[in-house]
Amino acid sequence: MKKLYIKTYGCQMNVYDSARMADLLAPLGYAPVDVADDADMVILNTCHIREKAVEKVYSDLGRMKVLKAARGEANGKMLLAVAGCVAQAEGAEIMARQPAVDMVVGPQSYHRLPEMIARIAREGGVALQTDFATEDKFDSLPEARGVEGATAFLTVQEGCDKFCTFCVVPYTRGSEFSRPVAEIEAEARRLVEQGVREVTLLGQNVNAYAGAGPDGEATSLAKLIRRLARIDGLERLRYTTSHPRDMSDDLIAAHGEIGKLMPFLHLPVQSGSDRVLKAMNRGHTRDEYLEIVERARKARPDIAMASDFIVGFPGETDADFDATMDLVRSVGYAQAFSFKYSARPGTPAAAAVKQIPAEVKDARLQTLQALIAEQQDRFNRSCIGKTVPVLFDKPGRRAGQAVGRSPYLQAVHVEGAVPLIGTLHKVTIAALTANSLKGVLASSSIGAEKALAF
Ligand code: 5AD
Ligand code: SF4
């Protein structure tokens, strides 16, 4: 067997892509390992969304170069590949800056890895693939396998046509593409056969999903979820990340009607100021967002809201920032991610003249994060004493401990009579610890259809 080390940066879709790359390379004799030291092949599956993302990749490549040189070529050289969004954005520049790199492959062309490896073995040299051939990619990937645990990601949609002015995604992942329903159902069934009980449907704009159904017609995410919910043994469904503009009535209704669809909605708003939302080209107002939240809560009163925020977008005034704070107060989030705006080369906002000074961004981020932390704490505390279904997916750090997820995506750990991994149990939440909830098993395994009763 050859050793394959993959380092995954960034989002959940990269986690999914890394697993698919491992699937793809398994028939070539590559087995995944946890350290790069004596790997036969190293893939850095990169993310481009954050500041200094590119520099971090180059510094990791510097370390890989040392490992590659130490190994020499007696047992065949170490193959070094850069995949993901930095690969797409930087292209051949990567090889120019770090000659130890053998392959650069974008997120929509990694199905070509086997042929790139073969060509290098045959002819030497380097290989570069940065085409946007999303359809070809899914057609060429082998069946997903080697899944561990009770939860899995499943990419149903990729790319983005929204062009928010801060974001690199439309340039690195390409335009919106949805996989056909049948392909997704087959993948979900295979995951369930391997013991998966919870599937998170992934897409950069997952609720813009419009894949071909059995009749050839475009199918909405809500319809896809309804179909997947019929798979026996698949107990829970989630989806991420959604755009407010694509939050359709049928998707909101699905939250009230499908017990397997978890009551958690990650719906990034980015800002609470209409002026900033407009400059970001988000295509919705603050009130439209708040109305969606209200409708979602009407459909599923216990739905937990999550979001992403950017502070210090070019031109953001104190009043704009106050509007964001105010929006956070009126929604009340269970969880939220917040970031300082960072100019991404090639995006419209990067060229804006009114960039915000670093110290202003720092102060706003601190203020916002304090409020979010307070809300998260309040939400977690409100769960104490409640009994919720928990899907156990891994052993805890200490012996006799198991960790699972509540419907609201909170980590819950129990001690003592440790339940089987991959099973759902009612757990009464007893206390809060630093990063998770502590619970006590309430009874034997339950079915997800009962989850709505909580
Ligand atoms: N600067 C700061 N945050 C960004 N995000 C995306 N692009 C940028 C950027 N240029 C954030 C958004 C998005 C999340 C994945 O990352 O909040 O929802
Ligand atoms: Fe980026 Fe906006 Fe598309 Fe999200 S919706 S991926 S933030 S361009």
- Mean model confidence pLDDT for the chain: 92
What pLDDT, on a 0 to 100 scale, did the predictor assign at position 446?
45
| Range in 48-52, 56-60, 264-268, 377-381 with the lowest mean pLDDT | 48-52
| CA angle (440 as vertex; 438, 445 as ends), nearest 5 | 120
Distance CA 21, CA 24 (A): 5
Does residue 160's CB lie within 6 angstroms of at least one atom of ligand 2? Answer: yes
317 vs 88, 322, 361, CA distance in Å? 34, 9, 11
Strand order of the sheet with strand 41-46? Answer: 30-32, 2-8, 41-46, 79-83, 103-105, 127-129
| Range in 65-69, 211-215, 400-404 with the lowest mean pLDDT | 400-404
pLDDT in tens, 388-431: 999 998 888 888 888 999 999 999 999 876 667 788 999 999 99
For residue 241, whether the previous peptide bond is cis, meaning omega lies within 30 degrees of 0, is yes
Ligand 2 center–CA 375 separation, angstroms: 25
- With tokens 């109305």, the residue in question is 291
Ligand that lies nearest to the alpha carbon of residue 165, given by its number in the listed order: 2
pLDDT at 449 over 70: no
What pLDDT, on a 0 to 100 scale, did the predictor assign at position 139?
84
Does residue 349's CB lie within 6 angstroms of at least one atom of ligand 2? Answer: no
Ligand 2 pocket mutation, candidates 12, 164, 172, 344, criterion most atoms within 8 A of CB = 164
Mean pLDDT of 219-235: 97
What pLDDT, on a 0 to 100 scale, did the predictor assign at position 340?
96
Ligand that lies nearest to the alpha carbon of residue 169, given by its number in the listed order: 2
> Quick one: pLDDT band at residue 146, thresholds 50, 70, 90?
low
What pLDDT, on a 0 to 100 scale, did the predictor assign at position 7?
97
What pLDDT, on a 0 to 100 scale, did the predictor assign at position 204?
94
Residue nearest to atom 5 of ligand 2 (CA): 162
| Upper half-sphere CA count for residue 75 (Cβ side, 13 Å) | 12
Ligand that lies nearest to the alpha carbon of residue 349, given by its number in the listed order: 1
What pLDDT, on a 0 to 100 scale, did the predictor assign at position 417?
63
Task: Determine contact, residues 276/305, Cβ cutoff 8 Å.
Answer: no
403 vs 139, 327, 431, 441, CA distance in Å? 36, 33, 14, 12
pTM value is 0.91
What pLDDT, on a 0 to 100 scale, did the predictor assign at position 399?
80
Distance CA 209, CA 242 (A): 10
pLDDT in tens, 322-340: 999 999 999 999 999 999 9
Ligand 1 pocket mutation, candidates 308, 347, 356, criterion most atoms within 8 A of CB = 308
Does residue 170's CB lie within 6 angstroms of at least one atom of ligand 2? Answer: yes
| Range in 122-136, 150-164, 208-222, 261-275 with the lowest mean pLDDT | 122-136
Domains of the chain: 2-129 (3.40.50.12160), 147-382 (3.80.30.20), 387-453 (2.40.50.140)
Using the 8-state DSSP alphabet, how is residue 229 labeled? T
Distance CA 46, CA 56 (A): 10
Mean pLDDT of 121-132: 91
What pLDDT, on a 0 to 100 scale, did the predictor assign at position 225?
98
Ligand 2 center–CA 353 separation, angstroms: 22
Ligand 1 center–CA 167 separation, angstroms: 6
Ligand 2 center–CA 289 separation, angstroms: 16
Tokens at 434, concatenated: 């630093």
| Upper half-sphere CA count for residue 146 (Cβ side, 13 Å) | 15
Ligand 1 center–CA 430 separation, angstroms: 35
Does residue 85's CB lie within 6 angstroms of at least one atom of ligand 2? Answer: no
Query: Which residues, judged by CB distance below 6 Å to any ligand atom, belong to the binding site of ligand 1?
Result: 49, 166-167, 268, 270, 308, 310, 339, 341-342, 344
Ligand 1 center–CA 370 separation, angstroms: 19
pLDDT in tens, 26-48: 999 999 999 999 899 999 999 99
Does residue 243's CB lie within 6 angstroms of at least one atom of ligand 2? Answer: yes
Atom nearest to 280 CA in ligand 2: 2
Comparing 267 with 416, which gets the higher pLDDT?
267
Task: Determine contact, residues 186/225, Cβ cutoff 8 Å.
Answer: no
> Quick one: pLDDT band at residue 440, thresholds 50, 70, 90?
very high
What pLDDT, on a 0 to 100 scale, did the predictor assign at position 161?
94
The percentage of residues in the chain with a pLDDT greater than 70, rounded to a whole number, is: 96
DSSP string, 166-205: T--HHHHT-S-EE--HHHHHHHHHHHHHTT--EEEEE-TT
Ligand 2 center–CA 307 separation, angstroms: 13
